[in-house]
Amino acid sequence: MTTTRFAPSPTGRLHVGNIRTALHNWMLARQAGGTFILRIDDTDAERSREDYVEAIRADLAWLGLDFDREERQSARLDRYEAAFAALHAAGRIYPCYESAQELEVKRKIALGRGLPSIYDRAALKLTDAERAAKEAEGIAPHWRFLLDHAEPITWDDGIRGTQKFDPAQLSDPVIRRADGSWLYMMPSAVDDIDMGVTQVLRGEDHVSNTAVQIQIFTALFAANFAAHESAAKSLPAFAHEALLVGREGKLSKRLGSLGCDVFRERGIEPEAIIALLARLGTSQPVEPIADRSALVAGFDLGTFGRAPAKFDEEDLERLNAAIVHQLPFATVQDRLPQGMDEAGWHAIRPNLAHVGEAADWWRLVTGPITHPAFSDEDRAFLGEAAAALVWGEDPWGTLTATLKQTTGRKGKPLFLPLRQALTGLDHGPDMGEFLPLIGESEARTRLQVAAGA
């Protein structure tokens, strides 16, 4: 069974890049009838906050990205201890004693010599006595995973194609801090094994992490580490999508601040966000598709490109307006002004960019309205309109047909004064749908007032 996961750290709100990753993993799982896991990566106790966890759940719910189960890394510390012990017994982790300042000096020296800034494995050269001396000084070690330099690390990436890394050009990653807390690399691999994750889809900034984690996976499999004997000992399929950039084509700090809270405040519909992010960065056209089952059915990693995916807020606004024009009354009725029924929604909907604007248009029905200044000729025309108004199945069509015949007016001179008298505006909803909402008595009164009667 296909199993994917979205693994945010609860150290802040979800931003548009996180949302895109969550969406694509959700789509992969739903397309295959598989499992989508929300995994809260909360091993960083100092920065993780429960209110952020709650916000992540709320944002996913608002977007309609339902998850099949939730996991918390903070509840799985015993599994990380077991993995640590297994790797230690296998000789794949080792203690290091350099301070952050010492490591920074090493990094700068390497860069100054034109060398890659990777860890020099100095800690492996320490004798038992030297290690004991450091610990006697009160220096607690941090722990690194020992990469195997014997063979290249390769995999067939679902988006980027064949990937190949020389492990000698990578630093042995720190997997545990001196205070005993965990970094990302090992717990993530442990979770993917235990939870049966079959596909890991994430941003291209994780490509080198994948190279390292492939060796961690392999080492754990070799150490017979698994939650149960029947657990598969095979790597997930990896795919790395291009990162989002702003409309100017550059990485933008602004993208890090755009999240569901901002979108909600602007009146952006979840369906518009889904429609945009589902295909952004692919060869498929971005269209206002409100039916997400259609988006899921067409989801294909083979359509993803290598170029950065450009996120344009104006595109989102255009999509949002097109989506709003499709929304059925039942979907929005609890967000509409009091008194607006299905007929009112259908009349006003084509004029909206956001559902929240419906109240402004509905005030044209409930009144009062302000008339523009009319010429004497137009006031006389509107007086005729008030007298000619006959209520029936199509009052607007009947009224305009009668006035065209009796006054000889047509086009703008016919329609504009009527619209202005009935709504106070020179643009707006289709009057054939809108006039019945106003009602016969109110419509006649507005025409009479506009005529100066």
pLDDT tens per residue, range 186-220: 999 999 999 999 999 999 999 999 999 999 999 99
Query: Tokens in use for 39?
Result: 């995994």
The pLDDT score that the predictor gives to residue 231 is: 60
Give CB contacts under 8 A, 24+ apart, made by 128-132.
131/95, 131/97
Q: How many CB atoms lie within 10 A of CB 30?
A: 21
Residue 308's SS3 state is coil
User: Which ranges of 408-439 would DSSP assign to H, the alpha helix?
Assistant: 412-423, 431-438
Which residue intervals of 174-282 are DSSP H helices?
Answer: 185-194, 207-222, 260-266, 270-279
Q: Are strands 153-157 and 161-165 parallel, antiparallel or unpaired?
A: antiparallel
Cβ–Cβ < 8 Å for 163, 154: yes
With vertex at residue 261, the alpha carbon angle to CA 260 and CA 263, rounded to the nearest 5 degrees, is: 60
Residue 431 near residue 396, CB atoms below 8 Å:
yes
pLDDT at position 250: 66
Q: What is the pLDDT of residue 230?
A: 53
Cis peptide before 368 (omega within 30 of 0): yes
- The fold of the 367-451 domain, in CATH, is Arc Repressor Mutant, subunit A (1.10.10)
Residue pair 145/204 in contact (Cβ under 8 Å)? The answer is no
**Cα 250 from Cα 27, distance rounded (Å):** 27
Q: Which two tokens stand for residue 370?
A: 């302000």
Q: How far is CA 272 from CA 267, 308, 318, 327, 349, in A?
A: 10, 21, 9, 11, 16
Q: What is the pLDDT of residue 27?
A: 98
Measured between its terminal Cα atoms, the distance across the chain in Å is 75
User: Residue 84's CB: how many other CB atoms inside 10 A?
Assistant: 18
Domain segments of the chain as ranges: 329-365, 367-451
| pLDDT value for 256 | 79
The whole-number pLDDT of residue 225 equals: 87
**Separation CA 245–CA 197 (nearest Å):** 28
Closest CA to 356 of 269, 276, 435: 269
Note the pLDDT of residue 244. 93
pLDDT of residue 228: 63
For residue 222, what are the CA distances in angstroms to 60, 78, 184, 253, 341?
Answer: 37, 20, 21, 42, 65
- Quick one: pLDDT at residue 45? 87
Residues of the chain short of pLDDT 70, as ranges, are: 227-232, 249-253
Greatest Cα pair distance, the chain, in angstroms, is 110
What is the pLDDT, as a whole number, of residue 453? 73
Reported pTM: 0.91
Per-residue pLDDT, 252: 67
Q: Extract long-range pairs of 300-307: CB within 8 Å, 24+ residues apart.
A: 301/158, 301/159, 301/201, 301/239, 303/279, 304/159, 304/239, 304/241, 304/242, 305/242, 305/281, 306/159, 306/160, 306/242, 307/242, 307/281
Between CA 164 and CA 193 the distance in angstroms is: 23
Which whole-number Å values give the CA distances from 334 to 337, 361, 420, in the listed order? 8, 17, 30
Cα Rg, the chain, nearest whole Å: 32
Tokens representing 447 are: 């025409």
Q: Is 226 exposed, middle or buried (0-12, 13-18, 19+ CB in 10 A)?
A: middle
> By C-alpha distance, which of 205, 204, 92, 193 is closest to 148?
92
Q: 159, 158, 160, 144: which is closest to 215 by C-alpha?
A: 144
